[in-house]
Amino acid sequence: MPRRMMLDVLKGKAHFPPPLWMMRQAGRYLPEYRETRKRAGSFLDLCYNPDLAVEVTMQPIERFGFDASILFSDILVVPHALGRDVRFEEGRGPLLTPISAPEIAALEGDMFHVNLEPVYEAVRRLRAKLPDETTLIGFCGAPWTVATYMIAGHGTSDQAPARLFSYREPPAFKRLLKVLADHSAAYLIRQIEAGADVVQIFDSWSGVLDDASFEAFCVEPVAEIVRQVRAVHPDVPVIGFPKGAGARYESYRQKTGVTGLGIDWTVPLETAKALQRQGAVQGNLDPLRLVAGGQALADGVGAILKALGDGPLIFNLGHGITPETPVAHVEAMVKQVRSAAR
């Protein structure tokens, strides 16, 4: 079997040029995705239709030949599988009925894996269809980030509803994080059993918390997920992406035990280099450099390769690609990374 270069990097081996993929690489910037999305009906129908989920997951692989493919799904399938209503409205994003403390106490996952079976089927089909050398990534949202949507009912700029809830209802909030951690771990384990080579935990809102809350809401639940996944699949790498963690990235890695560390574009490259000495890092091109293209893109790519190319690096964006990104700019980025010379 051809080597999956990303797995080598996650074991601490440096490759140059580094393996390359993009967060949200199957998405609205691609015309073929937009056509499939129209056929699917709703966004959740797209996530739960294995045929279409595989189709959109394969689109960026077929177009760009990335070294890794990430399952097309959404972090909110976990609360949806737990029985919470989730819907996506054009122009508004995800909408949920805000959960109350009594409803948290009554949360149960009797139908959890049954509800998520279409996702597991998509993973099985992807592993059979992807090139052998392409790493398949499964994922989930971190408990804190998923909880912010469950409590507010929608995305907010600073997650004030979830932060207030955590201060006013500590036992209920602790239970919610525990339920989400346990079910997210079980979800990742099933994705690995279906064929995922690596799993990633997305904590998109870790940057809004104070020290004590970061420890209790971001670090401890992710450490529990890692512990449960490792108990079953000790050799499968886990990437943690605590966006906005800033000075806490190092302690996050140490305390959670993640294999690879996803870093956002605000992390200085000197800091990223220090983090890289402890293990693989992933990132951290500003997505807006990719939108801008030209010299801004070339300079950003070149700086990352120069600073981090000698160590274990997975080249990626510092967050997901945005819908307005020109396809030609992605092509230019891939070409620059792949043709880089020391």
Average pLDDT, the chain: 97
Query: Which of the following is catalytic: 4, 24, 248, 289?
Result: 24
Query: Which of the following is catalytic: 4, 29, 33, 37?
Result: 37
Query: What's the pLDDT at 208?
Result: 97
How many angstroms separate the CA atoms of 77 and 99, rounded? 16
Q: Which amino acid is at 289?
A: R
Across the range 172-194, mean pLDDT stands at 98
Query: What's the pLDDT at 55?
Result: 98
Per-domain residue ranges for the chain?
5-338
Whether residue 37 lies in the annotated active site: yes
Query: Which of the following is catalytic: 8, 45, 63, 74?
Result: 74
Are the beta carbons of 187 and 126 closer than 8 angstroms?
Answer: no
Is 5-338 CATH 2.60.40.10? no
What the block records as the tokens of 173 is: 């909030």
Q: Are strands 198-203 and 281-285 parallel, antiparallel or unpaired?
A: unpaired
Whether residue 187 lies in the annotated active site: no
Query: What's the pLDDT at 1?
Result: 53
Beta-carbon contacts of 270 under 8 Å, excluding residues fewer than 6 positions away, are 307
The model's pTM: 0.97
How many angstroms separate the CA atoms of 149 and 162, rounded? 8
Whether residue 253 lies in the annotated active site: no
State the DSSP string of 262-322. Answer: E--TTS-HHHHHHHHTTS-EEEEE-HHHHHH-HHHHHHHHHHHHHHHTTSSEEEEESSPPP
Helix/strand/coil percentages in the chain, nearest 5: 55, 15, 35
pLDDT in tens, 115-156: 999 999 999 999 999 999 999 999 999 999 999 999 999 999
How many angstroms separate the CA atoms of 243 and 205, rounded? 6
Query: Which of the following is catalytic: 29, 33, 120, 149?
Result: 149
Q: Work out the widest C-alpha separation in the chain, in whole angstroms.
A: 59
pLDDT in tens, 209-257: 999 999 999 999 999 999 999 999 999 999 999 999 999 999 999 999 9
Whether residue 28 lies in the annotated active site: yes
Whether residue 127 lies in the annotated active site: no
How many angstroms separate the CA atoms of 106 and 110, rounded? 12
